[in-house]
Structure 1
Amino acid sequence: MEPENDTQISEFFLLGFSEKPELQPLIFGLFLSMYLITAFGNMLIILAISTDPNLHTPMYFFLSNLSFVDICFTSTTIPKMLMNIQKESKVITYAGCISQIYFLILFAVLDVFLLSVMAYDRFVAICHPLHYRIIMNPLLCGLLVLVSWVMCILNSLLQSLMMLRLSFCTHLRIPHFFCELNEMIQRACSDTFLNNVVMYFAAVLLGGGPFAGILYSYSKIVSSICRISSAQGKYKAFSTCASHLSVVCLFYCTMLGVYLSSAAPQSSHSSAVASVMYTVVTPMLNPFIYSLRNRDIKRALKRIIGIPVM
């Protein structure tokens, strides 16, 4: 027997960052700029990797997938917020809210999975360089990405279906710029015990598991780098994973900031501000981190733009 959804309302209100009318043009311009930079920067990374045969390697294959996911991640929230500001409306439909939750969880967890897969790729490249091409073959790379997508889709579907069993008896005012899972569960007027259990279990399993894999990979990488005798060899080995390590630190630190801000009392507004870091700022910075620290990416981008390559 399927749980009955007795939701009595058909729309919610996203309060955003401020209700002051004079601040809305500033917020609109700021987030539109960040969204365009994110989309353009990540599309350039994908274009550079797809058009340069020298970048057809496992590391850049995973990077192009990460860039695609980052575009989708920001597209889940920012366009709706910009549309609401333009229309001077804060309304989001019930179906739209559930859809946002589904895609937000999907792309957030996909980010985590892809970062862990990229850490494994760097582990094999540095710790087993002679067997790298054999281990990281096209079949395994495709399988790792496919499994990541399947697991994330199933998790998002489960979380969304769990939301459908909840009831919301009053006009819900969400102090956020998107429908965030934890915020929605806290504001339901029906029993949320099972939802909380599923949410935290998934967070530990699908968030903590990949993070543990990243820590293990980098512990082996650091151990392997320390055994290299020459300083130049150590620098070269570390430089191959510096960009990825920077993105991992940025993503997990911002996620930790969101968790700490949401745990504090009366923190809905600070939680919304902190959420901007991992939903908007991190996807926007990823192309810069990878392009500024990577000669191959910079060379491919110069070819696309038309700058002579030295």
Structure 2
Amino acid sequence: MSGEDGLSPVTVIGLGPMGRAMAASLLRAGHPVTVWNRTARRADDLVAGGATLAPTPTAAVAAGELTILSLTDYRAMYDILGPVAESPGPSGVLDGKVLVNLSSDTPDASRDAAAWAARHGATFVTGGVMVPAPAVGGPGAYVFYSGPRAVFDVHEPMLGLIGEPRYLGEDPGLAQLFYQAHLDVFLTALSSLLHATALVTAAGVPAADFLPGALNILTAIPAMIGDGWDLARRLEAGEHPGDLSTARMMGATADHIVWTSEKAGIDTRLPKAVKAQYDQAVSAGRGTENWTVLYEILKAGG
């Protein structure tokens, strides 16, 4: 079954903000889109735009070869598709289907899900969407994928409507590994931004006087530390020359942030965690090396 323009049908299960954005992008491109969600009213706008609301998950999966999942986690996938896998018939409903799971979970959860799908005759592709829902399908949107290359290649044009597909390899855990690692940077940056704002406003300074400059710090980091290729080379080579920002110097700054936070009466757990890493580097006799020596401490588990 294809649309009037010969475009392949696709099913989207899970209609939170991200799932709705994906389905809308696919609809705009002309694909026949079937949707399902526990709360059916979330599909109203999509149905008004031409989508088909399936009455059950089984009907949703049966509507085409490709099903995209946008759920809270992989447990939700099992809750929804478990009964589908056991549906009666000459062959399971999942047999021959392609499941592209764009939900968040762990790399191991992705590998387990791929094995589960294979037991039911389906092919599993893992994905991690690296933009918020409003940016889906727009400039700059990109998605990490991993899983069987041949299957990914077949569906890449359709997946490209969600964001630029960045294929990482056959291991189904790779997409979630990259997704979680990127969000590690993102979430830590967000927490530090809010902590710093609390530090300033505790002194009676309006947040508006601080945040524009603080955001400039975030965007200036690449220029300060060098491009990613050079940094990766130095980390992989174990090169941490102490000719500029040493671990001891950075640790002293981290200590000042802890002290200032305590005096301001705000939460100190984040700056104390950062200070502890520099303290470990100094205790290990590596205080005169570059701040990047923390990579060695972190790799070793602290």
Select the structure that is richer in helix: 1
Mark the structure with the bigger radius of gyration.
Answer: 2
Select the structure that is richer in strand: 2
| Higher RCO (CA < 8 A, seq sep 6+) | 1
With normalisation by structure 2, the TM-score equals: 0.30
With normalisation by structure 1, the TM-score equals: 0.29
